[in-house]
Structure 1
Amino acid sequence: MDPHPDQPTPAADPPPSSGDGQSPPAQDATQEQPAGARPQDDDLNAVRPQDEPNGGWHAPGQPPSPEPSGQLPGQPPYPQPGQPSYQQQPGQPHAQQQAGGGQVPGQPGFWSPEQPPPWGAPQPPQATQQPPLYGTPPPPPYGGPQPPQYDGTQPSPYGGPQPPPYGGPPPAPYGQPQQYPQQPSPYGQPQQPPPYGQPPVPYGQQPYGQPPYGQPPYGQPPYGQPPYGQPPYGQPPYGQPPFGAYVPYGVREPQVVPAPPSTPYHRLARTAKHTWWRPIVSGLFLIAGAILATVCVVFAWELIHAFVTGEFSEPEGNDFFDSDLENLSLTLVMLAALTPVVLLSARFVQRRPALSLASVLNKIRWRWLLLSCLPAAGYLLLNYALNIAVEAIFPADDTILADEGSWVGFASFIGPALLILLLVPFQSAAEEFIFRGWVIQAIGAYGPDNTRGSRFVQLLKQVLRTPWPALLVSAVLFFLAHGYTGWARLDIFLFAMTIGWLTIRTGGLESAISLHALNNIIAFMLPAATGQLSGWDDQGGAPWTLVAIDAPCLALYAVVVLWLAKRKKVAHLS
């Protein structure tokens, strides 16, 4: 029974017109309302374009979704079943067309805002919970079953549980901050989310000095700790400036460049710094340095002599002082002073290690030097024995082998012997550094690295690459530096060639220094023991027997040294 029989039934909205301009016939949906229920205006259930999904758009030929805006998914349509739906009669205007609410004035059943209808003012649809932004499928058409809201634990009707968008957690309720789990970044560090309420900064627009989102802070190793003994990732090797640091224009080249590996001794001067003029300038530096060193030694010795004796000496001929022992000592010191000169020449002019003159290892091999003294002592003993035998068969006519004088006594011998033992090794080493060291390497540096060219050019280059040109030049300069004549000059030449060849084969000057030093010690000891020290600088001729005696002794010395070098695995290449 209608509780208000004096008021007409409210009119519903006119049905929407079709595309051809014709309106479908109105339906008489007036039904009897049960007792206790208020009549509902059907315009509240009308589907408006802004309430429909996707703004009211639907595919051609497909009816719009009957689900009104504000309707919770899965709930029955409003009004409830069993309640009458008041439909608008044809030709009647919509009841909510006026702003004041109620029906149009002049129509039956008009009410005003001051006088609401007995069943109360129409209630607007209540605000419903907004669906999640991600992962919610659209509602099915024609009122099909609504999919349940995904809460992160329930399975989805579309084939099992769906993960949250982009692998993250589901959105937090409105008004609560979003919780981001600490997930490791690709670089092994936790990824920090942006502050709540601030969108992520696009890549490449981060503030200055800050890394991109998800990147490790600057200066920290991105890949964990490196293996033991290696510098951290992102850092330069030890001893080098950091990457990106300011480096002055023009990096300074190394001052000293050693020879490449597997270089023989006579080619140690042919380094990356070698040019055609360096050996020439080095030779001029050596000559000037030798003159300067000699003058300095003589001047210093004269000052010391004057301080000790109280008067300056008056040179006579080649002798600066009256004492033969003092003259011998001065000469040995002047020759020994050439060693630092030649080392400085190799270091600062040829730009290579100074002790590359000593061996292929750029150092003096002291153990090999001491071991070479054993065959050198055998050479002297054999030479002395052969000399006695030859002297008995072929008496000497030259004074160089004549044994004159007698034993001077131990008191007169000990002083000169100590000076000879102290100074002769340095004098012999200086001569070896110059003739078997610098000269051989200076000539060997001009040997080409390749042998391309014509047949003659190839042959010439191959000869220059061998040590023989350097050995010949060195031996010639060595016997020219001495005052021997005749057969004695040939003997000096054989001596220089033998120890020069051993220098190449053993990769250093040690065997040459040992033989040269022991030979000179004996050569100076004999005059000092017999009182003939005044003739220490006499260098004349010699009979052919000297060459006959010395040649087998040198050959035996070379064989023993090579055997020892092979047995001890002495390096002959750099």
Structure 2
Amino acid sequence: MASQGGPPQDQPQQPGYGQPPLPGGQQLPGEPGFWSPQQPPPWTGPQQPYPPQPYPQQQPPYGQPPYGQPPYGQHPYGQVPYNMRPPEPRQIPAPPGTPFHQLARNAPHKWWRPLLGTLALAAFAFFATIAVFLVWSIVHGAITGDFPDGEGDQLFPTDLENLASTLVMLAILTPAVVFTAWAIQRRPPWSVASVLNKIRWKWLLLACLPALGYLAVSVALTALVDQLFPNADPAAADDGSWIGFAAFIGPALLILCLVPFQSAAEEFVFRGWLVQAIGAYGPRGESGNLFTRLFRTPWPALVISSALFVSAHGYTGWALIDIFLFAMTVGWLTVRTGGIEAAIALHALNNLLAFLLPAATGDLGSWADQGGAPWTLLLSDIPALAFFAVTVSWLAKRRKVETVSR
């Protein structure tokens, strides 16, 4: 009979939890009560949930960082030493959702950066013109044996050489604009081109189709207006005659190679740099007085840059109004489509036609003539510009072209 409080006498006593092991370690691994000196004794207290729960921690007040962590941007032991701060990125883009004319208003923007960049561009254009002339003169002298002696606007003996050197002087402004945006304004260099910080080549090629339509409408309306108002331009010159393929192919190839770069450089300067440099002074937000809200829009930048574009050319009379309307149209499309690709397409194709026609008639020397024009020019050019603006806007909406930064 089993004694009270113990196991029955006819059953072997088995060690359990809380009891010492049998002498000699007779239990096998896995049996109840198995224990070896190399292991801690098993727990004999109340059973705990598994896995064990962590000790409750006091939660910090709402809006405060967790206990033991410093506020965002602060060092755990105070202000971060200068030599331990992470390096600031060299290129800082504009915040997401920024329109094209305010892409220069990034975090490092200061009031003096657009002014300094504009002065740097003007200085670069001056010294680059001198450098191109000197290098061109040295190459010319090495090939022909005599150095050119320019007279007036003619820097070199032939009209073709004068045209080529002028186009090169203008084309090198593109890398100058890109470098200035990176070095002085500390933003992505190709943000001068579009809100995606690059040239959108597919959109540029697609915009050439409306530009070809602009040329077709302009030529057709010009012929019609000349028939309706034959005496509107009493100083009209003879159109000349075809000079032949052999004499035309050389100037044509040079024009096709250089004019697109010259046209793109002008767009980088006037619709890219100037529009963004002026637009950087426009404040963000929705509140403010009438002047603040007006300066926040792209219209002040478009008007000022278009006026500077007109002053950079030698047009007079009705031609001044026509080129101002041209600049305003491509400037508005630049902001509307988020880049200068459509402006480059129209400018390049228009200049190609303007240079190829004199070359085809043997009057290449007239490429620099930028005088006046009759009032009938507006009758043919305004509808063509309207056609281009409407078509490009429709294509941009259909292709979902991005108009603000990501």
Q: TM-score, normalised by structure 1?
A: 0.58
**1:511 Cα deviation from its structure 2 partner:** 0.8
Pairing 1:549–2:380 present:
yes
Q: Does 1:369 align with 2:222?
A: no
- Residues 172-193 of structure 1 show CA distances to partners (whole Å, capped at 9, x for unaligned) of 4567699998xxxxxxxxxxx9
Question: Which structure's residues are more often helix, by fraction?
Answer: 2
In the alignment, which of 293, 296, 321 is matched to residue 131 of structure 2? 296
1:279 Cα offset (Å): 0.9
Per the alignment, do residues 507 and 148 of structure 1 end up closer, same or farther by CA in structure 2, a change over 3 Å counting?
same
Residue 296 of structure 2 corresponds to which residue in structure 1? 465
Q: 2:296, 2:331 → 1: CA distance? A: 16
Confirm or deny: 8 A CA contact 1:502 1:558 kept in the other structure: yes
In the TM superposition, what whole-angstrom CA distance separates every residue of 1:29-54 from its partner, at most 9, and x where no partner exists?
xxxxxxxxxxxxxxxxxxxxxxxxxx
Post-superposition CA distance 1:46-94 (Å, at most 9, x none): xxxxxxxxxxxxxxxxxxxxxxxxxxxx9xxxxxxxxxxxxxxxxxxxx
Verify the 8 A CA contact 1:172 1:179 in the aligned structure 2: no
Which string of whole-angstrom CA distances, capped at 9 and with x for unpartnered residues, describes residues 378-405 of structure 1? 1111111111111122225647753342
Shift of 1:292: 2.6
Question: Could you tell me which of 298, 322, 327 is aligned with 1:491?
Answer: 322
* Match of residue 164, structure 1, among 17, 20, 26: 17
Q: Which deviates further from its counterpart, 395-404 or 514-523?
A: 395-404
TM-superposition CA deviations, 1:524-545 (whole Å, max 9, x none) = 1111111111121111111111
The answer on 1:563 being equivalent to 2:398 is: no
- Of 162, 170, 188, which residue of structure 2 is paired with 1:335? 170
Inter-partner Cα distance in structure 1 for 2:397 and 2:25: 87
Cα deviation digits, residues 420-465 of structure 1 (max 9, x gap)? 111000000000001001111111111112354xxxx521111111
Q: Is the 8 A contact 2:232 2:376 kept in 1?
A: no
Structure-2 separation of matches of 1:361 and 1:178: 75
Partner of 2:146: 311
Partner Cα distance (1:414, 1:396) in 2: 35
CA distance in 1: counterparts of 2:27 and 2:138, whole angstroms = 95
Cα separation, 1, equivalents of 2:86 and 2:106? 20
Equivalent in 147, 159, 162 of residue 324 of structure 1: 159
Q: Is the CA contact 1:333–1:423 (under 8 Å) kept in the aligned structure 2?
A: yes
Counterparts in 2 of 1:396 and 1:481: CA distance versus 1, 3 Å:
farther
Q: Is the 8 A contact 1:178 1:196 kept in 2?
A: no
2:347 is the alignment partner of 1:521: no
- Distance change in 2, residues 1:466/1:254 (3 Å): same
The one-letter code matched in structure 2 to 1:333 is V
Alignment of 1:337-486 (within 5 A): 337-396=172-231, 398=233, 401-452=236-287, 457-486=288-317
Gaps of 5+ in 1: 1-73, 75-143, 157-162, 182-192, 200-245
In structure 2, the gaps of 5 or more residues are 42-80
Which residue type is aligned with residue 90 of structure 2?
Q
For residues 319 and 334 of structure 1, what CA distance do their matches in structure 2 show?
Answer: 14
The offset of 1:418, in angstroms, is 0.6
Distance in 2 separating the partners of 1:508 and 1:194: 79
Structure 1 Cα separation of the partners of residues 21 and 119 of structure 2: 89
Rounded Cα–Cα distance in structure 2 between residues aligned with 1:368 and 1:465: 27
Residue deviations 1:106-163 (CA, integer Å, cap 9, x gap)? xxxxxxxxxxxxxxxxxxxxxxxxxxxxxxxxxxxxxx845349xxx9699xxxxxx7
Residue equivalent to 2:47:
none
- Evaluate the alpha carbon distance shift between residue 533 and residue 194 of structure 1 in structure 2; reply closer, same or farther with a 3 A threshold: farther
Counterpart contact for 2:137–2:148, Cα < 8 Å: yes
Partners of 1:194 and 1:429 lie apart in 2 by: 86
d(CA) in 2 for partners of 1:310, 1:548:
50
Write the letter of the residue equivalent to 2:162.
N
CA RMSD of aligned residues (A): 2.9
CA distance 1:523–1:400, shift in 2 (3 Å)? farther
% same residue: 57
The SS at the match of 2:289 is helix
Distance 1:573 1:400, change over 3 A: farther
Q: Is the 8 A contact 1:396 1:543 kept in 2?
A: no
Paired amino acid for 2:195? V
- Contact 1:293/1:334 (CA < 8 Å) preserved in 2? yes
Distance of 1:321 and 1:176 partners within structure 2:
111
1:264 to 1:378, Cα distance in 2 relative to 1, 3 A: same
Alignment of 1:52-451 (within 5 A): 145=4, 147-148=6-7, 164-165=17-18, 171-172=20-21, 196=38, 248-396=83-231, 398=233, 401-451=236-286
What CA distance in whole angstroms lies between the structure 2 residues aligned with 1:274 and 1:388?
50
CA distance in 2, matches of 1:340, 1:177: 89
Offset of 1:406 from its aligned partner?
A: 1.8
Q: Return the structure number with greater relative CO, CA threshold 8 A, min gap 6.
A: 2
Distance of 2:173 and 2:393 partners within structure 1: 29
Contact residue 263 and residue 351 of structure 2 kept, 8 A = yes
1:451–1:461 Cα contact (<8 Å) kept: no
Distance 1:506 1:255 in 2: 27
Counterpart code for 1:337: I
| Whole-Å separation in 2 of the counterparts to 1:475 and 1:179 | 96
CA gap of 1:459–1:176, structure 2 versus 1, over 3 A, is: same
Does the 8 Å CA contact 1:177/1:196 hold for their aligned counterparts? no
- For residues 320 and 180 of structure 1, what CA distance do their matches in structure 2 show? 104
Structure number with greater Rg is 1
TM-score under structure 2 length normalisation: 0.81
